Amino acid sequence: MSKPIVAIVGRPNVGKSTLFNQIGKKRVSIVDDMPGVTRDRIYLDAEWLNHEFTMIDTGGIEFDESNHILKSMRQQAQLAMDEADVILFLVDGRTGLTTADEEVARMLRSTKKPVVLGVNKIDSPQREMDVYEFYNLGLGDPIPLSAS
């Protein structure tokens, strides 16, 4: 039996690659403050809570049709979602809910695949209240986390 595949998606700079590296226990994806560093799909076998699976790190999803690189990154993320058994949608709790998050959520609902909503950068008890606005995405209970 093959391992389940989990694709990590979201807009740029929400911490997808940081989470990917933490779960995978290897620095495979480059982590940088500059958006667009991850452009293609990156694969890594991982284990979490005694479950083995393959993760796919993706570049940030943006909906700018005029930029060829951003369009290509979105296509790569779409390929990862098509391949995935489960999609981990990562958002940024510090920034809060954005229009781009809502657009990605619409895209994810159309996949008809299970989506886990992770709210990153919830790194202190004071930040825990930042999670609740993400219920507005309609993707179930947001899970607070700090990838770093």
Complete domains list, the chain, with CATH: 32-84 (no CATH), 87-148 (3.40.50.300)
Query: What pLDDT is attached to residue 69?
Result: 78
Report the Cα–Cα distance between both ends of the chain, in Å, rounded: 32
What is residue 50's DSSP assignment? T
**Degrees to nearest 5, angle at CA 111 with 92 and 83:** 90
Query: What pLDDT is attached to residue 28?
Result: 59
- Give the side-chain half-sphere CA count within 13 A for 48: 17
Query: What pLDDT is attached to residue 31?
Result: 46
Which one is predicted more confidently, 59 or 28?
59
Phi/psi for 113 (5° steps) reads -105, 155
Q: Token digits for 110?
A: 């159309």
- 50 burial via Cβ count (<10 Å: 0-12, 13-18, 19+): exposed
| Mean pLDDT in residue range 114-120 | 97
Q: CA-to-CA distance for 87 and 64, rounded, in angstroms?
A: 22
Q: CA-to-CA distance for 68 and 132, rounded, in angstroms?
A: 35
pLDDT digits (tens, 9 = 90+) for 65-99: 788 777 888 888 899 999 999 999 999 999 999 99
